A = this chain, B = another copy of it.
Amino acid sequence: MPNIKDIAARANVSTATVSYVLNGKKSVSEKTRARVLQIIEEMNYQPNLVAKSLKLKRTQTIGVIVEDVTSFNSSEIIDGIHEYAEEQGFSILLTNIRVLKRIDHFYSKADRVKELIPPAVKEIVNKQVDGLIYVGVHPRDVTGLIPDMQIPIVYSYCYTNGADDYSVNYDDYQAAYESTEYLIRTGHKTIAVISGVMNSVPTKDRFNGYYQALNDNNLIFDPALIKTGDWEYESGHRSALELLNMSPCPDAILAMNDNMAAGAVSACHSLGIKVPDDISVVGFDDREFSSYLTPSLTTMRLPLHEMGIEAIRTLISVLNEDSPV
């Protein structure tokens, strides 16, 4: 692997000159530039970006810490991050906390992984990444989870209560409002809800969106139509059975994620109730499986790809204003 010195020697110029033609910022005569360029070509020179990083104190690399790369939301967010990063000449150093396997998919224990974060963050920061993006497994307040580093950080699919922290999330309220309105617009009048766990922010926001949509359309809110689930398939199934045994039976079920929606569909199925002929079921998240269900599920797509792009766009803009003069 030739370095800048080898090029300089072969071209009978100084390393400085080679660097000048490489970075094109300082004026070099056409003649020497051409000669240097040719040598570079000949020797198939490739710059050592590690040396460059050391000198410039900038790695053009951002650290992406994802709580679990196998979580359904992670891939698309990473995809979005990578798309914009590549465009802007940044690389991605990926760190995976693997919380799902470590807590056996029991979401409420997600904070148990607290001890795993600091060493992971430290390692990645020592590699001199220019900034960090932290991607959660579900939207929640992660204040205190990530130790304070001296570099910019953007949270996605989670957030902190820090006033000067950046986070990128989708609008739960808006999404629920729109789903509900969609149901109303398509003629439904008795819209039941299978919620997520009650103390979670997404649950509250989605509920508020649902509630407001009812109000704005002059429908009466009936608490009996609200069943509390826990985000999992089983709770959707169970809640749906309860709802379907009510009279009058609701003509639509809004489940707060696709897992529970799938459970609800299966419950309808087991009672011989046809979806969507007899009842409509709407989910959230747009999990891959949704489109394979028969009958298939209507689901709110989460703008994950866009969130990834927005997260890194935010980070890079912070990086640029930070750069001293």
Contact = CB atoms under 8 A, between A and B. Distances in A.
Given A75-B74, A122-B46, A292-B262, A82 B96 contact: yes
A91 B83 contact: no
A208 B290 CA distance: 33
Contact of A98 (B79, B98, B289, B294): B79
Interface in A72-127: 72, 74-76, 78-79, 82-83, 86, 91-96, 98, 101, 122-127
A231 to B, nearest CB: 14
A233 B292 contact: yes
Nearest to A291: B289
Chain A contact patch, size range:
35 or more
A252 to B, nearest CB: 20
Q: Oligomeric state, in number of copies?
A: 2
Interface string A121-135: 011111110000000
A301 interface: no
Contacts of A128: 48-50
Most buried by B among A94, A262, A269, A293: A94
Given A78-B69, A127-B91, A265 B294 contact: yes
Contact of A54 (B51, B61, B96, B101): B51
B265 A125 contact: no
A233 B289 CA distance: 12
B46 A125 contact: yes
Contacts of A150: 1
